[in-house]
Amino acid sequence: MKEFKTDQIRNVALIGHNGSGKTTFVERALFHTGVTTRMGSVQNGTAVMDFEEEEMARNSSVAAAIAPIVWKDVKINMIDTPGYADFVGEVNSALRVSEGAVVFVEATSGVEVGTEIYWQAAEERNLPRIILINKMDRDNVRVSRALTSIEENLSGNFVPLQLPIGEGPSFKGVVDLLSMEARLGTDDSRGPIPDDLADAAEEARLALVEAAAEGDDALIEKYLENDTLSDEDIVRGLKLAVQQGSVIPILYAAPEPGIAIVPVLQAMVRLIPAPNQAGPFTATLPDGETAEYPVSDDSPLAAFVFKTREDPYGKMSYLRIYGGTLQSDSRAWDSHLESEVRIGTLQVLRGKEQMPVPRLHSGDIGAVVKLGETPTNSTICNPQQKLKLNITNQPNPIMSVAIHPASQSDVAKLSASLNRLVDEDPTLVWHTESATRETILSGMGTTHLDIGVKKLESKFGVHVTTTVPKVPFRETITKTNTAEYTHKKQTGGAGQYARVFLRVESLDDDAQFEFTSEIFGGAISAPFVAATEKGCRQALDQGALAGYPVTGVKAIVYDGKEHPVDSKEIAFQIAGREGFKQAVLGANPVLLEPIYNVTVTVPADYMGDVLGDMNSRRARVQGMDQEGTKSIVRAEVPLAEMQRYAADLRSMTQGRGIFRMEFSHYGRVPSHLQSDLVAKLKQEQAAED
Can you give the CATH number for the domain in which 454 is found? 3.30.70.870
Q: 514 and 368 in one domain?
A: no
Residue 689: its pLDDT value, please? 60
Q: 301 and 152 in one domain?
A: no
Q: 597 and 569 in one domain?
A: no
Q: 65 and 48 in one domain?
A: yes
Domain end marker among 588, 603, 637: 588
Q: What are the pLDDT digits (tens) for 466-480? A: 999 999 999 999 999
Confidence class for position 678, pLDDT limits 50, 70, 90? confident
Q: What is the CA radius of gyration of the chain?
A: 31
Which of 68-72, 264-268, 566-570 has the weakest average pLDDT?
A: 566-570
CA dihedral 194, 199, 205, 210 (to 10 degrees): 180
Q: What are the pLDDT digits (tens) for 511-523? A: 789 999 998 877 8
Q: What is the pTM of this model?
A: 0.88
**What CATH number is associated with residue 575?**
3.30.230.10
The yes-or-no verdict on residue 493 having pLDDT over 70 is no
Q: Which residue has the higher pLDDT, 550 or 45?
A: 550
Residue 312: its pLDDT value, please? 59
Q: 173 and 122 in one domain?
A: yes
Other Cβ atoms less than 10 A from the Cβ of 426: the count is 20
Q: What are the pLDDT digits (tens) for 78-102? A: 999 999 889 999 999 999 999 999 9
DSSP characters over 226-254? HS---HHHHHHHHHHHHHHTS-EEEEE-B
Residue 367: its pLDDT value, please? 95
DSSP characters over 1-40? -----GGGEEEEEEEESTTSSHHHHHHHHHHHTTSSSS--
Closest CA relative to residue 395, chosen from 188, 658, 132: 658
Residue 313: its pLDDT value, please? 64
Domain end marker among 389, 418, 435: 389
Confidence class for position 6, pLDDT limits 50, 70, 90? very high
Segment 143-152 mean pLDDT? 94
Q: What are the pLDDT digits (tens) for 634-665? A: 999 999 999 889 889 988 988 888 899 999 99
Segment 491-516 mean pLDDT? 86
Residue 654: its pLDDT value, please? 84
Confidence class for position 465, pLDDT limits 50, 70, 90? very high
Q: Residue 242: which residues within 8 A CB-CB, separation 6 or more?
A: 100, 128, 129, 130, 215, 248, 249, 271, 272
Residue 405 lies in a domain: yes
CA distance 634 to 615: 12
The structural domain count of the chain equals 5
Segment 573-579 mean pLDDT? 94
Q: 567 and 522 in one domain?
A: yes
**What CATH number is associated with residue 101?**
3.40.50.300
Segment 569-586 mean pLDDT? 94
Q: What are the pLDDT digits (tens) for 603-633? A: 888 999 999 999 999 999 999 998 877 899 9
- DSSP code at position 640: G
Q: 512 and 580 in one domain?
A: yes
- Chain centroid to Cα 149, Å, comes to 26
Work out the end-to-end distance of the chain between its first and last CA atoms, rounded to an integer number of angstroms.
Answer: 62
If phi > 0 it is left, if psi is from -120 to 50 it is alpha, else beta; for residue 367 that is: beta
Q: At 383, which amino acid appears?
A: P
Residue 213: its pLDDT value, please? 86
Q: 383 and 255 in one domain?
A: no
The yes-or-no verdict on residue 492 having pLDDT over 70 is no
**What CATH number is associated with residue 351?**
2.40.30.10
Q: Residue 266: which residues within 8 A CB-CB, separation 6 or more?
A: 71, 72
Residue 75 lies in a domain: yes
Confidence class for position 66, pLDDT limits 50, 70, 90? very high
The yes-or-no verdict on residue 151 having pLDDT over 70 is yes
The yes-or-no verdict on residue 115 having pLDDT over 70 is yes
Q: 167 and 25 in one domain?
A: yes
The yes-or-no verdict on residue 38 having pLDDT over 90 is no
CA distance 563 to 307: 64
Q: Residue 225: which residues within 8 A CB-CB, separation 6 or more?
A: none
Residue 676: its pLDDT value, please? 85
Domain end marker among 470, 495, 512: 470
Domain that holds residue 341: 281-389
Q: What are the pLDDT digits (tens) for 255-310? A: 999 999 999 999 999 999 999 999 999 999 999 999 999 999 999 999 999 999 98
Q: 252 and 113 in one domain?
A: yes
Residue 628: its pLDDT value, please? 76
The yes-or-no verdict on residue 599 having pLDDT over 90 is yes
CA distances from 483 to 385, 480, 536, 537, 555 (A): 63, 10, 13, 16, 11
Q: 190 and 263 in one domain?
A: yes
Q: What are the pLDDT digits (tens) for 300-344? A: 999 999 999 986 567 899 999 999 999 999 999 999 999 999 999
Residue 479: its pLDDT value, please? 93
Average model confidence (pLDDT) for the chain? Answer: 91
The yes-or-no verdict on residue 211 having pLDDT over 90 is no
Residue 242: its pLDDT value, please? 94
